[in-house]
Structure 1
Amino acid sequence: MITVKQAHSRTDLDAVFAIRRKVFVDEQKVPADLEYDEFDDEGATHYLADLDGKTVGAARWIVTDEGYKLQRFAVLPEARGSGVGSALLMKVLEDIPADGKKIYLHSQESATGLYLKHGFVIEGDRFEEAGIGHYKMSKK
């Protein structure tokens, strides 16, 4: 069973950062100083996903001048392919205010299929962030 909740407590946020460290810093070799930013202290809405009672996924969204930006979607390797990424995305989209502002993200190349299934479209050319290929995508 998959459950997704907003992360508010210090314990929840520590779990968010632990998952992101495992996926982005340890696995993908993203420098830690690029992974953590001012939005981790305030300004982001964070999420945790559990699979069968084990915390295995995290995500967040922020408000930018362009709209709502979805970020830092991370699922531990042992939980990939189980629907956790989709569950996280659906909960985030459910929580974002329905005020007509743009909803967008920078997807790693390997994850574009997930976002395409949920109504996102690719905008523009491939680019790199932290040495990883990405595409800008927006919700249509």
Structure 2
Amino acid sequence: MELLQVNKIRTQEELESAFAIRKQVFVVEQGCPPELEWENEDVSHHFLALLDNQPCGACRWRKTDNGYKLERFAVLKEYRGKRVGQALVAAALADIPDSANSIYLNAQVEAVSLYAKFGFAVEGEQFEEAGIQHFRMVKK
């Protein structure tokens, strides 16, 4: 049985692991411009997923003028289909204050069904962000 855990990032080393995962998924694999990938890092709460102690996924949340935004969900290709994404969503949601009145995210089209499992619903039209099609989703 593989051990899957998601930890809130506490050290610079863990943050570097998360950034390396995001770089691989967003910049290398999906072709996002690096300058769009790194922003708001200092005001975000970051998470790192480990499968058998190997860093395999990352995400973050931050407070914005519109509420609490979940973002930068990334799972390395060889770890997809192992419930890493679900574990990341669950950990991020569990960390957001209970007083949160609005929780939202911009989901890549193929990830909509993942977020829907956690009560997020598509709001509005499909749009492009960093060359990738997205939907805004809001937690109901």
TM superposition score category, shorter chain reference? over 0.9
Identity %: 49
Unaligned runs of 5+ residues in structure 1 are none
**From 35, 38, 41, the counterpart of 2:37:** 35
TM-score, normalised by the number of residues in structure 1:
0.97
Structure 2: 5+ residue stretches without partners: none
- Partners of 2:62 and 2:70 within 8 A in 1: yes
2:72 matched to which residue of 1? 72
Cα deviation 1:89-115 (Å, max 9, x = unaligned): 001100100104200000000100100
- Cα distance in 1, alignment partners of residues 100 and 4 from structure 2: 29
Mapped to 1, the partners of 2:114 and 2:37 lie a distance apart of: 22
Which portions of structure 1, spanning 4 or more consecutive aligned residues, are displaced by more than 3 angstroms?
none
Residue aligning to 1:12: 14
Deviation of 1:128 after TM superposition, in Å, equals 0.3
Aligned 1:50-129 pairs, distance under 5 A: 50-129=50-129
Structure 2 SS opposite 1:19: helix
Q: What is the number of residues matched between the two proteins? A: 138
C-alpha distance in 2, partners of 1:100/1:51? 30
Shift of 1:9: 0.7
Whether contact under 8 Å (2:67, 2:102) holds in the other structure is: yes
Q: Aligned to 2:27, which of 20, 25, 28? A: 25
> Within 1, Cα distance between the matches of 2:86 and 2:100?
22
How many angstroms apart in 2 are the aligned matches of 1:51 and 1:139? Answer: 27
CA drift of 1:17 comes to: 0.4
Q: Give the SS at the match of 2:125.
A: strand
